[in-house]
């Protein structure tokens, strides 16, 4: 999750402002595409390790965990959709907000 949320923050705080001052759309698209693929890999790792942990701690029936799984699935959907429609910037915002919610629920489940 650090790759996904941290990467979004780097794009938001560093890459996008520089690209707005010196626009090079091809470079921005290449960075965003690579980040999108990296995000999908990171999310796949999270799903795999999360499933293992859910089995270990017997969380599959927990409502909070099921909400988290739903948010993860929705986030993956938004990332893929945004990769296919990069001009729909609302999708990146939705993915970011959902990522923060996933982290929040994850922290809640760990206590």
**Confidence band of 58 (pLDDT split at 50, 70, 90):** very high
Structure-block tokens of residue 34: 């690579």
For residue 64, the model assigns a pLDDT of 92
Q: How confident is the model at residue 30 (pLDDT cuts 50, 70, 90)?
A: confident
CA 106 to chain centre: 14
Break the chain into its structural domains and give their ranges.
2-110
pTM here? Answer: 0.76
Q: HSE (CB half, 13 Å, CA atoms) of 103?
A: 12
- First-last CA distance in the chain: 18
Q: Would you call 24 helix, strand, or coil by DSSP?
A: coil
State pLDDT tens for residues 60-78: 999 999 999 899 889 889 9
CA distance 65 to 6: 23
| Structure token digits, residue 1 | 């999750």
C-alpha pair distances (Å), 7 with each of 10, 37, 41, 82, 90 = 5, 12, 13, 15, 17
Segment 79-91, tens digit of pLDDT: 889 888 888 889 8
Return the H-helix or E-strand segment holding 84.
helix 63-84
């Amino acid at each position: 999750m650090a790759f996904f949320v941290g990467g979004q923050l780097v794009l938001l705080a560093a890459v996008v402002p520089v690209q707005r001052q010196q626009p090079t759309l091809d470079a921005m698209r290449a960075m965003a595409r690579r980040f999108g693929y990296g995000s999908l890999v990171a999310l796949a790792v999270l799903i795999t390790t999360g499933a293992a942990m859910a089995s270990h701690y017997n969380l599959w029936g927990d409502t909070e965990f099921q909400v988290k799984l739903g948010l993860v699935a929705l986030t993956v959907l938004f990332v893929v959709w945004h990769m296919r429609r990069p001009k729909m910037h609302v999708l990146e915002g939705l993915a970011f907000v959902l990522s923060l919610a996933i982290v929040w629920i994850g922290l809640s489940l760990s206590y």
